[in-house]
Each structure stands twice: as C-alpha cells, then as structure tokens.
C-alpha cells in the first residue's frame, strides 16, 4: 500500500492537472461563442452568392468555364483537408481521418491518384504519414479564418483542376451541428455539383445581359464562390474545434475530480490504518511494560 506522502503527491498532481483542463475548458467556451458568431455571419454571404451563381450559370447555358463542366471519368483526385492545428479536441480529427482512410483505400483500389491540400497541422501530419502527395499547405492559421492566408494554398488546387491535372476536387472538414455534435463531411467541390444550382432555381427562368461577356463574368464569380465555400468550411471547422475541445476538457476535469475523490478516500483509509497501528503498538507496549 502506498504511503500517505505518495498519495498526497498524487492528489496534488491531479489537482494541478484539473486546474489546467478547467482553464482550457473556459477558454474553449469563450472561443466557441466567437467562432459560432463568425460561422453564422458567413452563412448569409454563402447563400447569396450561391443564389447569384445559380441564376447566372443557368442563364448562360453556353458557358465553357471549367468549373461548370460535366464530371466524366475520374483518374486523379484533388482533396482539400481542413483540420485543426492543435490537439486535445476529442475525436474531432480522428473521425474525419477515419472517414478519409476508407475513401483512400477505395480510391487506391480503383487506381486513382490523389493530390492533397492541407489546411491545419493535424491534417498535414495525417497526409504525410499516409504518403499522400501534398501540393500545398497552410498551418497555424489562428482562431479566426483569414481569406488572405488561405488564398494562396487554395489557388494551387484550383489551378490543378483548371489545368486538368486533377479531374475532381473534394473538400473534407468537420461540420458544426451543435456544441455536442460535429460531423465529418466530404463534399465535391469541383466541378460544381449541378444539384447545388438546381436547388436554387425553383423553376424560374433568368435572363442577363453580360458585360463584357458571360465567360468573363463567370470566370470572376465562380472562383469567388468556391473561395466562399472553403471559407465557410474553415469557419465550420473552427467552431467544431472549440466545441469539441470544450467538451473534452470538461470530461477531463470531471474525471480528475473523481480521481481526486478516490485518492482522498484511499488517503483517509491509509492514514486511519496508520493511526490504528500506532495506537495498537502503544497499547501493546504499555501492556508489556506493566
């Protein structure tokens, strides 16, 4: 049985750990509210530009923009993986990595090549461990999504698709549902899925006069639309990260509290046993003297 000194040391150690996890829980809760506000603020812009692109693309049926081409035979795949820079976020990164592992296995068996873009340190490490070629990356993006920071990394993948180096581009991230639930998502980013536009048309016919021409207008609007989708995915992932970290740190704090209570009980029993032993020895010694 450990001595009372050892038990006191363990209790102090767990108490210090609990202070850290409790502080991290409070910080994550504060950041979560801000991340949720940014995520919700970005949604109206995403909806408006989706409507605009749907109407403009529908009216310009003769446009030859590569983002609107039909999906044909897939030989090479581009992947944009959005993950966190830091750990201690529960199963958030593990869930999306497990989903992608199954997809990678499926794509490899079909003989498809994969080129990836990593947003976030955890995703980058995951891709490097698997030996997936990473053509662009950005890490340490902070707690607030910044399009200027993301733009260069995203542009590499968009150019690869435009030049025909990849046939389809997928976007993987964690979608924020609520503070207790985040779901891994894998969406087709390019070519833009027809269903995204069909859902917005609602049987209404639109007519536009383009200046200078339809292809020039679409060549400017479509990249902005794709960038908005990626920005929204990063904002969703950040809100998911802080929510998952808050829940994970709360669970860690609660576990530390239970461990402290158990150690305190063991300490009291050990101390009581030591006192009883001392009393027994004193009484035995007194009886032997008399």
3-state secondary structure the chain: CCCHHHHHHHHHHHHHHHHHHHHHHHHHHHHHHHHHHHHHHHHHHHHHHHHHHHHHHHHCCCCCCHHHCCCCCCCEEEEEEECCCCCCCCCHHHHHHHHHHHHHHHHHHCCCEEEEEEECHHHHHHHHHHCCCEEEEECCCCCCCCHHHHHHHHHHHHHHHHCCCCCEEEEEEEEEEECCEEEEEEEEEECCCHHHHHHHHCCCCCCCCCCCCHHHHHHHHHHHHHHHHHHHHHHHHHHHHHHHHHHHHHHHHHHHHHHHHHHHHHHHHHHHHHHHHHHHHHHHHHHHHC
pLDDT at 15: 92
The model scores a pTM over 0.95: no
Residue 20 has pLDDT above 60, yes or no: yes
Mean pLDDT of 10-19: 92
Residue 204 has pLDDT above 60, yes or no: no
Residue 100 has pLDDT above 90, yes or no: yes
42-98: pLDDT as tens digits: 778 777 777 777 777 666 656 677 787 777 788 899 999 999 988 888 889 999 999
pLDDT at 44: 81
pLDDT at 1: 60
23-44: pLDDT as tens digits: 998 999 888 888 888 888 877 8
């Amino acid at each position: 049985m450990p001595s009372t000194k050892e038990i006191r040391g363990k209790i102090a150690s767990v108490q210090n750990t609990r202070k850290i996890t409790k502080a991290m829980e409070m910080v994550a809760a504060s950041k979560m509210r801000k991340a949720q506000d940014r995520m919700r603020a970005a949604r109206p812009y995403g909806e408006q530009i989706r409507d605009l692109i749907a109407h403009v693309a529908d009216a310009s049926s003769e446009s030859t923009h590569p983002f609107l081409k039909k999906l044909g035979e897939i030989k090479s795949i581009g992947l944009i993986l959005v993950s966190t820079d830091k750990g201690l976020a529960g199963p958030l990164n593990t869930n999306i990595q497990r989903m992608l592992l199954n997809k990678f296995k499926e794509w490899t068996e079909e003989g498809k090549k994969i080129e990836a873009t990593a947003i976030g340190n955890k995703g980058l490490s995951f891709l490097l461990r698997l030996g997936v070629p990473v053509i662009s990356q950005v890490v340490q993006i902070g707690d607030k999504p910044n399009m200027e920071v993301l733009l260069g990394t995203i542009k590499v993948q968009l150019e690869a698709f435009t030049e025909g180096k990849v046939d389809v581009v997928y976007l993987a991230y964690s979608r924020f549902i609520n503070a207790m639930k985040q779901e891994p998502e894998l969406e087709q980013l390019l070519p833009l899925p027809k269903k995204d536009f069909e859902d917005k048309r609602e049987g209404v016919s639109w007519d536009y006069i383009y200046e200078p021409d339809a292809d020039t207008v679409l060549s400017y609007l479509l990249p902005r639309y794709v960038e908005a989708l990626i920005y929204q995915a990063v904002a969703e992932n950040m809100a998911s990260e802080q929510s998952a970290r808050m829940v994970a740190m709360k669970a860690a704090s609660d576990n530390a509290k239970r461990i402290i209570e158990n150690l305190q009980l063991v300490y009291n029993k050990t101390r009581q046993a030591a006192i009883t032993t001392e009393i027994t020895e004193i009484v035995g010694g007194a009886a032997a003297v008399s």
